[in-house]
Amino acid sequence: MKSILIIEDVEDNRELLKQFFEGVYQVYEAEDGRQGLELADQLRPDLILMDLSLPLLDGWQATAAIKADARLRDIPIIAITAHAMVGDEEKALGAGCDAYITKPIDFVELDRLVNRFLGQK
């Protein structure tokens, strides 16, 4: 079973994402950027869903650190964020995110993106 690491500081958002993907993928959770970076290194998930506004290490920094690590750089990262201003998508993609989706989450679009990267479901 392929795995998804959800890096999101808001518990309700993590729970929604977890419930949406549970049973189809192995789901792991982190509540801040530092924990997310550690779990990415330990678990080597098949995909990461990354909030960009995170405590301790924000999503841009965590993404850049993951993409700078030769062992982790091939893990696709989908930014899930409330940052929806002009230029935010380009900034996220520039930090290394492979795709970008805004909150409130369009689960049809998110499912399409996840399937694009994982080819499953």
From first to last of its 121 residues, the chain has per-residue pLDDT tens of 999 999 999 999 999 999 999 999 999 999 999 999 999 999 999 999 999 989 889 998 999 999 999 999 999 999 998 867 778 888 888 889 999 999 899 999 999 999 999 986 5
pTM: 0.95
| Domains along the chain with CATH numbers | 3-118 (3.40.50.2300)
In this predicted structure, what is the pLDDT of residue 117? 97
In this predicted structure, what is the pLDDT of residue 120? 61
Question: Contacts from 60-66 at CB under 8 Å and sequence distance 24+?
Answer: 60/91, 60/92, 60/95, 61/33, 62/7, 62/33, 62/34, 62/36, 62/37, 63/92, 63/95, 63/96, 63/97, 64/95, 64/96, 65/37, 66/37, 66/40, 66/96
